[in-house]
Structure 1
Amino acid sequence: MQIRLIVKISETGSFTKAGEELHMTQPAVSRIVASVESELGTKLIKRNRKNGLVFTEVGEQILILFRNVLSELKKVDELIAAERGLEIGKVHVGAYPTACTRFIPKIIRLIEQKHPGLEVQLSEGSVDQVKDWLQTRVIDVGITIPPDHDFDIIPLIKDQLIVVMSLKHPLYQQESITIPDLQKEQIILGRGGYEAQVDALFKEYNIKPNIRFVVDHLDTALSMIQEELGITITTKGAISSLPEHIAIRDLEPYMFRNINIAVPDIKDISRATNVFIETACTLFADQHEDAAADKSHS
């Protein structure tokens, strides 16, 4: 209970909220935290006027160990349930907004159909947040994009890069676009992993991209494109429907963005995490294979 409480405080950022979720009073939570800190001989949590409750540097390191302990206990519960012929488990997934919209609902629906005893917990954040959560073991599995060499990776899909522009833009007359075509264009750059890839694409041609705006959401970029404020580079899969007066063109030669499933250690995942990975790979296997075939033919 002590370990679970410390981890719950980190998740909720509050003694009171952590106590409510674990059915404990606030004074009881404070006593347990003080007892744990006394036993360990170090301060784990401190109050900050600006940020509220924050974990100390050593507290953050201990949190990772505590999360690993809870992960191992989760595996024990799964083993016992399997012995009894039951199927229970919980997998905590982290994903960036586009992945949450595009992949997660389909994966959860299929898991609920085939594995009704498995629970999926979802945390939505930026690409960098998802990677931080993986590093600190806040989540069991994440949807990521390169660079993600710090983790064990399972390829999910290869998503083709495209250029999005107004119908009034001169490049609309071309069937496809090359990076040199974009040399003088005003680019609306999307955060969430596009920054590094766009920069790398232009560096291949010794061109510096003309970044006019940097936005967090694709919808913002599309609205700006409708007002003829620039063009953007994104992926085909990111656009569920094309707004009026906007067109897309392929980048030539075909270029792709890898979208991966990532775990801290593939040799140390729970059964629930493995079910999530297998379900996701089964659902989107055709998209990965189609992209690979397109690339081989380009």
Structure 2
Amino acid sequence: MDQQLFVFVTVAEKKNFSRAAEELHMTQPAVSQYIRTLEQTIGTKLLDRNNKYVRLNKAGEIVYHHAKEILGLYTKMHDLVDDLTNKTSGSVSIGASYTVGEYVLPHIIAVMHKRYPLIHPSIMIGNSKDIAELVKKHQLDVGIIEGELQDKQLTIEPFATDFMYIIASANREWSEEISISQLEEETWIVREEGSGTRAATERMFQTFGIKPQRKLEFGSTQLIKESVEEGLGITLLSDSAIRKEHSMGLLKIVQVRELPVTREFSTVLSSPFQTKALQVFLDLVRKK
């Protein structure tokens, strides 16, 4: 059954039997037979197909959703059993929010690769809310997120404090020190809903009672930095995210009396069982 599910997931994601067969190093008739057998087992068609496309029908969407979770648990089971007799090795799937994933995680992965070359990490970057949901569905072994999160189905452990500052173009002149309320008339560039950085920004607005009239919403920290550098507006970002541009004189930290804003970086887990590879990764994160 696990092979049938694996073939089915591959076809669903490739949206084409030929591409799926190539990915799986199988013949197209063999792929088709796996799909027919799975459909017979489930008792209904799972894919709508013609000469132009292959796509999931309603039943297929249900099976795909659960197949991803089942395959994730199956892989984790094998890794746990393998850990009993072998050296620290294997895969670890990591989900990280943008700030952590792009500016903190690479250093941790580099240390892990040097010390434990048999561990093979796969990394997905997304906003904090999406990463937490994928961990809950067992599609990721661990998540690393920013900001607050409460979920009784997850184990959430802070491991570092992040400091956030208001950032502006280096070409913009500011007074030596101002208050946040003085910035209400500025154009604010913010991240999308679900982002930990967006949550911290909205919390700052609420705490200091300001309601910016002009806000631009971008889904990328890098895009926000480049827009601020060009003078499009100001933003609130992590010190980790702007360290390089600040040292190069491209971005400026606005001296605001009420700042920095602080938040926590946290690990997110859903299973009490951890492979050695995951334990190694978590130990490195905690020592960061």
TM-score of the superposed pair, with normalisation by structure 1: 0.78
User: Aligned to 1:211, which of 209, 214, 223?
Assistant: 214
Partner AA of 2:198 in structure 1: E
Flag structure 2 segments of 5+ consecutive residues without an equivalent: none
SS of residue in 2 equivalent to 1:66? helix
Aligned residues of 2:165 and 2:238 also touching (Cα < 8 A): yes
Tell me the distance in 1 between the aligned counterparts of 2:253 and 2:170. Answer: 9
| Shift of residue 5, structure 1, vs aligned partner | 2.0
Tell me the distance in 1 between the aligned counterparts of 2:82 and 2:110. Answer: 22
Tell me the distance in 1 between the aligned counterparts of 2:221 and 2:180. Answer: 20
Aligned residues of 1:189 and 1:211 also touching (Cα < 8 A): no
Aligned residues of 2:80 and 2:274 also touching (Cα < 8 A): no
Partner of 1:258: 264
Q: Which moved more, 1:191-200 or 1:74-83?
A: 74-83
Aligned residues of 1:74 and 1:89 also touching (Cα < 8 A): no
SS of residue in 2 equivalent to 1:42? coil
Partner of 1:148: 149
Partner of 1:289: none
| Shift of residue 120, structure 1, vs aligned partner | 0.9
Partner of 1:270: 275
Instruction: Give a deviation string over 1:158-192, Cα, whole Å, max 9, x none.
Output: 2111011234545x2234x5432322222122334
Aligned residues of 2:165 and 2:259 also touching (Cα < 8 A): no
| Shift of residue 79, structure 1, vs aligned partner | 4.6
How is 1:42-61 mapped onto 2 (pairs within 5 angstroms)? Answer: 42-46=44-48, 53-61=54-62
Q: 1:253 to 1:95 in 2, by over 3 A?
A: closer
Q: 1:254 to 1:71 in 2, by over 3 A?
A: same
Partner of 2:122: 121
Tell me the distance in 2 between the aligned counterparts of 1:85 and 1:28. Answer: 34
Aligned residues of 1:178 and 1:253 also touching (Cα < 8 A): no
| Shift of residue 237, structure 1, vs aligned partner | 0.8
Q: How many residues align?
A: 279
Partner of 1:174: 176
Partner of 2:191: 190
Aligned residues of 1:141 and 1:261 also touching (Cα < 8 A): yes
SS of residue in 2 equivalent to 1:209? coil
Tell me if 1:134 matches 2:135: yes
How is 1:217-232 mapped onto 2 (pairs within 5 angstroms)? Answer: 217-232=220-235
Tell me the percent identity: 26
Tell me if 1:247 matches 2:249: no
Flag structure 1 segments of 5+ consecutive residues without an equivalent: 285-298
Q: 1:249 to 1:86 in 2, by over 3 A?
A: same
RMSD in angstroms over aligned alpha carbons? 3.1
Q: Which moved more, 1:107-116 or 1:52-61?
A: 52-61
Tell me the distance in 1 between the aligned counterparts of 2:12 and 2:141. Answer: 16
Q: 1:130 to 1:56 in 2, by over 3 A?
A: farther
